Amino acid sequence: MAKRRATSVSSQRLSLSRKGNSRLGVWVRRLLWIAMEIAFVGALIVAVACAAYAYRITDQITERFEGKRWKVPSRVYSDLLTVLPGDSLGEIGLVPRLQRLSYQDTKAATLSPGEYRVTPEAIDVFLRDFLYPWERAKGYWLRIERQGGTVKRLLDVAQSRELPSAEIEPELIARFFGDHQEDRDLVAIEDVSPHLLNAIVSIEDKRFYHHFGFDPIGFTRAMLTNVVKMRMAQGGSTLTQQLVKNFYLSAEQTVTRKAKEAVMAFVLEQIYTKDAIFEAYLNEVYFAQEGSISVCGVGQASRFYFGEDVRTLGLADSALLAAMIRSPAGYNPSTRMEKAKGRRDYILKLMHENEMITTEQYQNALAEPVQVLKRKPGKTVAPYFIDFLRKELDQRYGPDILISEGLSIFTTLDVQTQRNAESALKDGLIQLEKDYPKLVGKGKDPVQGAIVVIQPQTGYIRAMVGGRNYYESQFNRATQAKRQVGSVFKPFVYAAGFQRAFEDRDFEFTPATIVIDEPFTLNIPGGKPWTPHNYEREYLGPVTVRKALEKSMNVPTVKLAVNVGIKRVRDTAQAMGIETPLEEYPSISLGAADLAPLEVASAYSTLANQGTHAEPLAVRDIVDAQGNVLEKKPVRIQRVLSPEAAYLTTSLLEGVINRGTGARARGLGFRHPAAGKTGTTNDYKDAWFVGYTPKTLAAVWVGFDDHARSINLAGSRAALPIWTRFMIEQVGKGPAVDFERPEDIIVRKIDPETGLIPVYDCPTIIDEVFLDGTEPTEECDLHKDSIIEIFKKNILPEKP
């Protein structure tokens, strides 16, 4: 009985237990079903929300992707360097130029693109590829054989061929940015090295060509790896997601942003091809920081790190570039070489495992050292010139085009010349303040200056310095400051005289023509009588035209101007390059006109170019991002003086430097043939010197911005030393070249006091230049009646 009751209780308990388990199972199943329903509804809601979001953002995605994706800055280049046999290596500054272009000095027997080697016999340079406006130049091994400091012969080493000339590529001197300072060189995917494409896919998204924008498999694998390693060892974003984040979204780390990123990546891949997306990624990705400028895109990164076109990038360098994408600072080969090499080698391993490269390629790439360009801290080149250029281009293209269309602007500037000019002005003004402490006023603006350098034959502006410090004052005194020119204007009077004599042989005007240096008064129609004076109020009586200009004498110059014709003088100055309208008053002959250094330099270049004026040029060519030439600025020349008139004027100006008001240049060590003129205003507020050799012309102005202050120094003291500093550095290392004399200019001996044929007792005899047929025919009458002359005539027998 008891046993039966126990069995019954046990059965009841089992029954209750089964009932309990059954009820629990029902509830579990119900909860699971509810959870599934909720998950389904939630997923449906999420899917609907994603679909709605995708539909809503489709237009936004296509508008950005198909519109203007990037604002690509215009790049401004210097002029190229043409090397010729006979060139002075010091004068053309070849090695410093190669260094500025980030060519790497090497001692290796074999060169690679972007390397150079210097030996006592030659300079070897492996030139890089470069896209000129007229051609895509292929790099080659150039050997510049030298004899001392002179180029002896040019050779294409690979072709064993002698060259008549060689061109070294231009230097990048500026970029025109908008609000965002991002520099990129847009490339098409077919123009990118296959090694680089494979390297990026291997490390960043190996399933790129198989997923639909968001890769669940890759995301899951990355998350599991991160959990195992307990750190963010891998990222889960596809290339498409990375592009979306950079292109459309912010960098915030939130679930919402990540969800948007995934949806937008999916939409992007439904609309565009993989190659179109990859190409956008290649141009968008960030690589480095160059000062305040971001280096973006593989095209620009390849040039920045290796100095090489991305289409020819090798395997090892491709892997190194791909290594930097994840963390440009963390894997920067310039600062963290070992870390960068480790990641590069890991990428090469992945490429080998994925059968993208052979074992031999893999091993060779591993053996390559990590080598990137050694870059010096960037320095702004020619800021005054760049401002001048940008204002000129803004008028033709508009500012938006310049900051967004990726134009290549090839200028006439020479960087070595620019640096020489900047140093000469800076050091010259400092020395001036040391020599004349009164120039330094407490609490007042410092003494300023400007230099313009022009190549006379082309009008190319080779250098422009508009002040002593651009960052303290952006006012460009080379182009914007119109200051009284003083005696710098006088050569236009003499050039007009020589030109009139060339056209009218009855008009007497030669270097030996006598003019009387004595006070006189001019009656000005409608004005007060004007009496010009010499600076020191000293008058020498009869002087030659040569002496009048060499000594910068006022009274003879005004007399000559009146004789030649004031209108002719004015018209000659304007034709030679003075753009500012000039009044037809006699006082302009003494420089009573406010002119900018650039136009004065331009006018003087006509003399240096044998009477042909070349319009000043800052731009040579402008090319768009596709390589189409938008603008080609030809050299515009016009004959305004005969070669004879220009040469005779130059000859007088040579005398200014050799023995006249510019003789201090010789005392300071400048020995090359040169012509020039000092300029000083009556109140000593402006000091000038403009001088030239056959190939280089430089104009220098010195003064205070405040027109009320005077420097109390003549041009020979303030401006001439700066000009001399520049010319010694610029041309002093090269061979001396004399001015070419026209065929019908003859040389005759004269007495410098009378300008006539010398007689036996003339104390001084000089060589003088004349237009053939205008030389003196009479003997010096000043010394004819001397004792020696009388003795010769009456005692000595006549020559048979």
Extended strands (E) in 391-447: 408-411
181 near 286, Cβ under 8 Å? no
List phi, psi (to 5°) of 172: -75, 120
Q: Residues 78, 102, 487, 716: which is the catalytic one?
A: 487
DSSP 8-state symbol, 757: B
Residue 82 to residues 22, 396, 609: CA-CA distances in angstroms? 96, 29, 20
Rounded Cα distance between 568 and 31, Å, is 108
Kind plus residue range of the DSSP H or E element containing 793: helix 787-794
3-class DSSP state for residue 335? coil
Strand partners, 530: 522
Q: Please give the full DSSP string across 255-281, using - where no structure is assigned.
A: HHHHHHHHHHHHHHHHHS-HHHHHHHH
Rounded Cα distance between 387 and 464, Å, is 11
Q: Residues 169, 204, 308, 768: which is the catalytic one?
A: 204
Q: Please give the full DSSP string across 701-735, using - where no structure is assigned.
A: EEE-SSTT------HHHHTHHHHHHHHHHHHTTS-
68 near 400, Cβ under 8 Å? no
Rounded Cα distance between 170 and 76, Å, is 10
Q: Catalytic residue at 204?
A: yes
Give residues with Cβ within 8 angstroms of 784, minimum separation 6. Answer: 759
160 near 141, Cβ under 8 Å? no
530 near 521, Cβ under 8 Å? yes
Rounded Cα distance between 495 and 493, Å, is 6
Q: Where are the alpha helices (DSSP H) in 285-398?
A: 298-306, 315-323, 337-353, 359-367, 383-397
Crossing angle between the packed helical segments 315-323 and 359-367, to the nearest 10 degrees? 70
Enumerate the active-site residues: 204, 487
